[in-house]
């Protein structure tokens, strides 16, 4: 790669453009050359790391001259063309930027005296330097300033921002200022990073409680993190989460030797430095050692997956289009990186054993903490099958995991709505793990009678739509259920109880189960179902999972391996299934039979039973079933409509949903008659479509008879004594 070894040549061309003479100026396998450029007076300048640091040199009269030897980096990893850290203001003056310990500096270099004069700036990151007589132009930013195009008047030293990368103004009261840190790491070495403590002018953390820590692992891996305003970092810091942005061994900005630490050690050195950075902040007392997380994208996602799989320090993590399997990456990636891993890991296939050893996908049995994965569907650098395989493997273990794939996105998300959704989903995932699940697991570990804990229902479904009112459905597997049935005091350990309903004892797999449906004052709702261990034994032995587990479950705690042979959920429980003809006809008959009750009750002006019969029985029992069959047909029977029709709105045609909404009326009798006939019209339309697709006949004659009957009841006078002329009212 260009940061490993490059050669700088000069050649003479004849009139035809053919090379007549060539000369090697500098470079080789152990020297990286950056930004060769001719000065206005025809001298060749370049950056080389021949002394460990990317410093400025020039080639004049056949000799190489060092311009300002210093422990600083004037070069960058050349991932793209056109990178520039210096420019000629004149033949006698260079305007340049260099990095020391991750911080950018701006300077003026006299090409005759070789005197380097630093130019004071308010910026901590500077790149893309261009210059002309009396002025310089560059990209710059700081912890409180977004990246901007900046023009500098070299005479007055005045800076003019020509354009910010974003015009959105952020109140500094919501911005965390980074602390540059260095910390000891493996082998007596030192690594670096920027620590962002939580910052929000409107809130403070609970007294005596240390914040969570999110460790960020940058991509590349040949790259670096810099202390410039980062909306993602500030998103977390303003919400009470501290952030450590790590420059692990292999990062640029700290010399060639530091950069080469990663050679042959990718997946080892970077991971150890992220771990040790977190340990350093725990030891220093800045963060909570029990609430550590790690996140990263691309190569940083690989570091994240390795840290979560091969170590147990972090309690949760997020991989953004990260590499889970190194082997296919060798052949799947694009041309520029096609031999990148030769240095980072080793030549393939000669070192195939190392590729396998450092691929998290091969060791998911060692993984024991929750993770969320994000992926673009059109990623050509890290193909989506990498994240999908990792997700399936983790899901099969019953570990809390989520996967979001964004249609049309590539390597790094571009659409604002997708960037926002990914950030919100990652934060929500951490909140769920640390705010509730970790507390539940700790409680379970502390109680010897609790042998296993399973999270079920919505929060165990990978693609479920969750919000702050989504329940936690928890199965507690205990040695003896009696104490939990006889006393409710243990419920108070999760917060102040607002109200609790005890579901009575019910037979289940030859034993009895019961539940506490518990609403807490802080808004959390936990449905605790109590099983004795014998129930779990029977569930494991059963040929299929019961619906409440097949809908989705996560094993949060399993002290004795009771759940290790539990079958994987299909996530298809409660999916609509195709009815046979008899079931189809039975729903129609039941629906029309119920209409007679509604009509009778409307005539009697008995509002409460009218509402029950119309809204609960006709709509929830019969119409809902027909609607779910229609949705099932439209989605090849692979869709969840949700309990009590919760998913109907998102799956139904908006026009049908609007019609259904109109049937929910008030107390006026005429409105309820209209609602009844509208409900029948919706049912008829849907049933005809379902019947046609399934090959079942709709009973038009029954429909016609029922409509005539209902119309007659509606037209009866109040207090009528007969239904038909000459007949007594029965």
Q: Write down the pLDDT at residue 729.
A: 42
Distances (CA, A) of 287 to 308, 327, 429, 588, 626: 19, 36, 19, 62, 54
Cβ within 8 Å of residue 541, ≥6 positions away: none
Residue keyed to tokens 């959704």 = 421
Asked if residues 410 and 380 have their Cβ atoms less than 8 Å apart, the reply is: yes
How many whole angstroms separate alpha carbon 457 and alpha carbon 472? 8
Where b means 16+ CB within 10 Å and e means fewer, 678-711 reads ebbebbbebbebbbeeeebebbeeebeebbeebe
Asked if residues 612 and 674 have their Cβ atoms less than 8 Å apart, the reply is: no
Q: Write down the pLDDT at residue 441.
A: 86
How many whole angstroms separate alpha carbon 708 and alpha carbon 595? 12
Residue 404 token pair: 């979001």
Domains, the chain, with CATH or none: 6-164 (2.120.10.30), 175-437 (3.40.50.1820), 447-558 (3.30.460.10), 581-715 (1.20.120.330)
Residue ranges, the chain, pLDDT below 50: 726-730
How many whole angstroms separate alpha carbon 324 and alpha carbon 321? 9
Q: Write down the pLDDT at residue 402.
A: 85
Distances (CA, A) of 549 to 77, 451, 554: 50, 18, 9
Asked if residues 297 and 322 have their Cβ atoms less than 8 Å apart, the reply is: yes
For the stretch 225-279, pLDDT in tens is 999 999 999 999 999 999 999 999 999 999 999 999 999 999 999 999 999 999 9
DSSP state of 53: S
Q: What are phi and psi of 557, to 5 degrees?
A: -155, 135
Residue 394: name the closest of 414, 366, 430, 432 by CA: 366
Angle at which helices 669-694 and 581-603 cross, to 10°: 170
CA atoms within 13 A on the CB side of 677: 13
How many whole angstroms separate alpha carbon 618 and alpha carbon 430? 42
For the stretch 334-344, pLDDT in tens is 788 878 899 99
Give the Cβ contact number of residue 113 at 10 Å.
Answer: 8
- Give burial (CB, 10 Å; 0-12/13-18/19+) of 94: buried
Asked if residues 117 and 93 have their Cβ atoms less than 8 Å apart, the reply is: no
Residue 631: name the closest of 587, 571, 672, 686 by CA: 686
């Amino acid at each position: 790669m260009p940061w490993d070894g490059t050669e700088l040549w000069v050649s003479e061309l004849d009139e035809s453009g053919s090379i007549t003479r060539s000369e090697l100026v500098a470079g080789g396998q152990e020297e990286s050359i950056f930004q060769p450029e001719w000065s206005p007076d025809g001298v060749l300048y370049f950056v080389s790391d021949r002394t460990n640091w990317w410093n400025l040199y020039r080639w004049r009269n056949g000799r190489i001259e060092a311009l300002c030897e210093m422990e600083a980096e004037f070069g960058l990893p050349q991932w793209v063309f056109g990178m520039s850290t210096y420019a000629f203001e004149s033949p006698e003056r260079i305007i340049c930027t260099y990095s020391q310990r991750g911080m950018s500096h701006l300077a003026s270099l006299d090409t005759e005296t070789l005197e380097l004069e630093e130019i004071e700036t308010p910026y901590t990151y500077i790149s893309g330097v261009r210059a002309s007589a009396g002025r310089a132009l560059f990209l710059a930013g700081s912890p409180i300033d977004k990246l901007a195009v900046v023009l500098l008047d070299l005479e007055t030293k005045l800076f003019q921002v020509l354009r910010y990368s974003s015009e959105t103004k952020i109140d500094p009261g919501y911005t965390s200022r980074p602390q540059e840190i260095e910390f000891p790491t493996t082998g007596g070495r030192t690594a670096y990073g920027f620590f962002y403590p939580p910052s929000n002018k409107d809130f403070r953390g609970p007294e005596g409680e240390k914040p969570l820590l999110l460790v960020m692992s940058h991509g590349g891996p040949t790259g670096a993190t810099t202390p410039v305003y980062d909306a993602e970092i500030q998103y977390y810091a303003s919400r009470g989460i501290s952030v450590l942005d790590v420059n692990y061994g292999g990062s640029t900005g700290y010399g060639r030797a530091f950069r080469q630490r990663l050679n042959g050690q990718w997946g080892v050195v970077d991971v150890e430095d992220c771990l040790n950075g977190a340990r350093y902040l725990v030891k220093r007392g800045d963060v909570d050692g029990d609430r550590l997380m790690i996140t990263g994208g691309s190569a940083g996602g690989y570091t994240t997956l390795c840290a979560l799989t091969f170590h147990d320090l972090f309690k949760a993590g997020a991989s953004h289009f990260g590499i889970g399997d190194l082997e296919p990456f060798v052949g799947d990636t694009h041309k520029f990186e096609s031999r990148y891993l030769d240095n980072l890991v080793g030549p393939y296939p000669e070192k195939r054993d190392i590729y396998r050893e450092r691929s998290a996908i091969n060791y998911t049995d060692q993984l024991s903490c929750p993770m969320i994965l994000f992926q673009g569907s059109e990623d050509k650098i890290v193909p989506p099958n990498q994240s999908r395989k990792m997700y399936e493997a983790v899901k099969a273990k019953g570990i809390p995991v989520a996967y979001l794939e964004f249609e049309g996105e590539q390597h790094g998300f571009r659409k604002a709505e997708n960037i926002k959704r990914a950030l919100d989903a990652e934060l929500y995932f951490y909140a769920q793990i640390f705010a509730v699940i970790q507390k539940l697991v700790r409680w379970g570990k502390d109680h010897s009678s609790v042998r296993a804990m399973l999270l079920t229902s919505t929060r165990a479904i990978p693609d479920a739509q969750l919000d702050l009112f989504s329940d936690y459905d928890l199965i507690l597997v205990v040695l003896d259920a009696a104490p939990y049935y006889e006393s409710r005091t243990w419920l108070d350990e999760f917060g102040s109880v607002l109200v609790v309903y005890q579901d009575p004892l019910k037979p289940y797999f030859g034993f009895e189960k019961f539940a506490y449906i518990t609403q807490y004052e802080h808004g959390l709702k936990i449905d605790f179902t109590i099983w004795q261990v014998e129930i779990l034994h029977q569930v494991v032995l059963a040929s299929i999972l019961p619906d409440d587990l097949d809908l989705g479950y996560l094993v949060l705690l399993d002290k004795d391996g009771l759940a290790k042979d539990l079958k994987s959920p299909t996530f298809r429980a409660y999916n609509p299934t195709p009815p046979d003809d008899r079931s189809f006809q039975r729903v129609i008959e039941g629906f029309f039979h119920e209409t007679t009750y509604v009509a009778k009750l409307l005539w009697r002006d008995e509002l409460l039973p009218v509402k029950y019969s119309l809204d609960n029985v006709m709509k929830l029992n019969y119409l809902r079933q027909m609607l779910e069959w229609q949705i099932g047909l439209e989605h090849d029977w692979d869709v969840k409509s949700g309990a009590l029709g919760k998913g109907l709105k998102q799956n139904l045609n908006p026009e049908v949903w609007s019609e259904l909404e109109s049937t929910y009326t008030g107390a006026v009798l005429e409105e309820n008659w209209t609602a009844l006939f509208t409900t029948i019209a919706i049912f008829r339309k849907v049933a005809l479509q379902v019947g046609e697709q399934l090959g079942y006949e709709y009973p038009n004659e029954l429909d016609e008879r029922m409509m005539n009957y209902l119309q007659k009841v509606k037209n009866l006078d109040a207090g009528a004594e007969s239904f038909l002329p000459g007949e007594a009212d029965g």
